[in-house]
């Protein structure tokens, strides 16, 4: 079986970790022998934006359609304003392809350490899946600026919440919670201060919860949630939050589990009409770009989730094997600097490739 994958390495360390992920996936396919990848690379980067005046060509989104999945590195570079790069590339891809769910698992990998040394010492002490609403909310793209360059400039940034959008993300979150051993869901809002959209979140949450009586749930305000994540990480399992809240909470989650460099994400179209997209949650990291020291683990974990998704249940054993290989390598102490190790990107990649042959 042949899987067609579009790769968009983007900028900075996005390029290094995408290359590492392709190398690893090629190895995985070779070892398994029942499937192959066909890669198509898209050079949509900030550097090319500066030369061409666009990130994607006019038919860019259509070009992605013929692929089974999209593998994304990171986009953004200091010489292009970040809202231009995000809205020029990653956000249109998510929106056009109906990727309304962003799944962000986090846990303490074997051989790595949480900075929460008082309450998170074992892998099971911090094992979360954050379900991020990925299509609307605070990143709906609505708003505007009037009297630009005047002392009286007004800018609005409108958050949009629809019943349809909330209901589908809640259902996905409950299904995820149900599929995990603890069957536990925490719903995050700011429905005390934000009294329209967030109150609708509460309302729809309670409606959907009735369909999932076997799932235990609780609710948190986002500010208190940050405290609970630090003080009582064991008390949570699956978490659902809005586009902005989950964006922030998942960076915190990644740091609490050891490093932002290990955290993966899946941008899913659960209807499977459009290709889904897989990417580590981190950005282009200009401060370490070009040094060959980026942690490729988040990219590898994202690659494992891509294999799981495109396999539709038939490649779960391959994805699981890949995760075992990654964790055997971290357990053996072959880690990059952000995880208090001394290996570089290439050494970690080669170690995981070698481990794939064994597991």
**DSSP codes of every residue in 177-237:** HHHSTT-EEEEEE-TTT--SHHHHHHHHHHHHHTT-TTSEEEEEEHHHHHHHHHH-GGG-S
Closest CA to 312 of 254, 272, 263, 353: 272
Using CB under 5 A as the binding rule, whether residue 133 contacts Mg ion is answered as: no
CB of 247 to Mg ion, least distance (A): 4
Contacts of 165 (CB under 8 A, 6+ apart): 100, 133, 135, 136, 137
| Residue 21 interacting partner from ligand NAI, Mg ion, none (CB closer than 5 to 8 Å by kind) | none
| Residue 247 interacting partner from ligand NAI, Mg ion, none (CB closer than 5 to 8 Å by kind) | Mg ion
Nearer to ligand NAI, 168 or 282 (CB): 282
| Residue 261 interacting partner from ligand NAI, Mg ion, none (CB closer than 5 to 8 Å by kind) | ligand NAI
Write down how long the chain is.
Answer: 359
| Residue 74 interacting partner from Mg ion, ligand NAI, none (CB closer than 5 to 8 Å by kind) | ligand NAI
Q: Residues 230-269: x/- map of binding to Mg ion (CB under 5 A)?
A: -----------------x----------------------
| Residue 294 interacting partner from ligand NAI, Mg ion, none (CB closer than 5 to 8 Å by kind) | ligand NAI
CB of 107 to ligand NAI, least distance (A): 17
Closest CA to 172 of 313, 266, 66: 266
CB of 48 to ligand NAI, least distance (A): 15
Using CB under 6 A as the binding rule, whether residue 250 contacts ligand NAI is answered as: no
Backbone φ, ψ for residue 144 (5° rounding): -175, 175
Nearer to ligand NAI, 89 or 198 (CB): 89
Backbone φ, ψ for residue 23 (5° rounding): -60, -45
Nearer to ligand NAI, 279 or 355 (CB): 279
Exactly one of 30, 43, 62, 82 binds ligand NAI (CB under 6 A); which one? 82
| Residue 282 interacting partner from ligand NAI, Mg ion, none (CB closer than 5 to 8 Å by kind) | ligand NAI
- Report the first-to-last Cα separation within the chain, whole angstroms: 22
Cβ atoms of 60 and 88 within 8 Å: the answer is no
Q: Give 125: exposed, middle or buried? Use CB within 10 Å, 0-12, 13-18, 19+.
A: middle
Would you tell me how many other CB atoms lie within 10 Å of the CB of residue 150?
8
Kindly list the residues in this chain that would bind Mg ion in the complex (CB under 5 A).
247
Q: Which residues bind ligand NAI (CB under 6 A)?
A: 13, 74-76, 82, 90, 260-261, 279, 282-288, 294-295, 298, 336, 338
């Amino acid at each position: 079986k042949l899987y067609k994958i579009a790769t968009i390495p983007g900028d900075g360390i996005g390029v290094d970790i995408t290359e590492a992920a392709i190398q690893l996936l090629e190895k995985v396919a070779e070892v398994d022998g029942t499937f192959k990848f066909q890669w198509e690379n898209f050079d949509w980067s900030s550097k090319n934006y500066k030369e061409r005046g666009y990130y994607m060509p006019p038919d860019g989104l259509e070009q992605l359609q013929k692929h089974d999945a999209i593998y994304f590195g990171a986009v953004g570079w200091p010489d292009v304003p970040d809202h231009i790069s995000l809205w020029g590339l990653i956000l249109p891809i998510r929106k056009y392809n109906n990727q309304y769910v962003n799944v962000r698992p986090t846990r303490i990998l074997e051989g790595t350490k949480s900075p929460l040394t008082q309450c998170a010492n074992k892998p099971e002490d911090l094992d979360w899946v954050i379900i991020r609403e990925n299509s609307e909310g605070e990143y709906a793209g609505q708003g505007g600026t009037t009297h630009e360059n005047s002392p009286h400039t007004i800018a609005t940034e409108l958050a949009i919440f629809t019943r349809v959008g909330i209901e589908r993300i809640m259902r996905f979150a409950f299904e995820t919670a149900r599929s995990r051993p603890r069957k536990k869901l925490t719903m995050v809002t700011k429905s005390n201060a934000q009294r329209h959209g967030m109150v609708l979140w509460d309302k729809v949450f309670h409606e959907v919860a009735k369909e999932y009586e076997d799932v235990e749930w609780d609710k948190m305000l986002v500010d208190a949630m940050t405290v609970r994540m630090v003080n009582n990480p064991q008390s949570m399992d699956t978490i659902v939050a809005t586009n902005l809240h989950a964006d922030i909470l998942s960076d915190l989650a990644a740091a609490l589990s050891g490093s932002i460099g290990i955290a993966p994400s899946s941008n899913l179209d659960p209807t499977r009409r459009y290709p889904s997209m897989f990417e580590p949650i981190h950005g282009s990291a200009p401060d370490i770009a070009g040094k060959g020291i980026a942690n490729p683990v988040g990219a590898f974990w994202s690659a494992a989730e891509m294999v799981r998704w495109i396999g539709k249940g038939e490649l779960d054993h391959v994805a699981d094997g890949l995760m075992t290989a990654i964790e055997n390598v971290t357990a053996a102490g072959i880690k990059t600097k952000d995880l208090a190790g001394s290996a570089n990107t290439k050494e970690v990649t080669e170690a995981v490739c070698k481990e794939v042959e064994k597991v």
